[in-house]
């Protein structure tokens, strides 16, 4: 298992593209998580408001 420091190493040019891809994938995963959390929150708010309207 390699550390993030190995990917960040400036002295190894072969690591640069892989690190860029990994950071892109990581950012995508974080964005998906945030969207899922927002959707769950909005869904709960909608349920709560529909219950109070009854």
- Pick the closest to residue 2 from 27, 19, 17 (CA basis): 19
Q: What letter does residue 13 receive in the DSSP assignment?
A: T
Question: What are the tens digits of pLDDT across the range 5-49?
Answer: 555 555 556 655 665 666 777 888 889 999 999 999 999 999 998
The pLDDT assigned to 34 comes to 95
Backbone φ/ψ region at 2: left (φ over 0), alpha (ψ -120 to 50), beta: beta
Q: What is the pTM of this model?
A: 0.49
Task: Give the 3-state secondary structure percentages of the chain, helix then strand then coil, rounded to 5.
Answer: 80, 0, 20
Query: How many residues does the structure list for the chain?
Result: 54
How far apart CA 50 and CA 44 sit, in angstroms, is: 10
């Amino acid at each position: 298992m390699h550390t993030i420091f190995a990917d960040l190493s400036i002295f190894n040019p072969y690591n640069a593209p892989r690190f860029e891809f990994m950071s892109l994938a990581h950012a995508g995963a974080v964005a998906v998580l945030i969207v899922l959390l927002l959707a769950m929150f909005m869904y709960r708010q909608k349920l709560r408001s529909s219950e109070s309207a009854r």
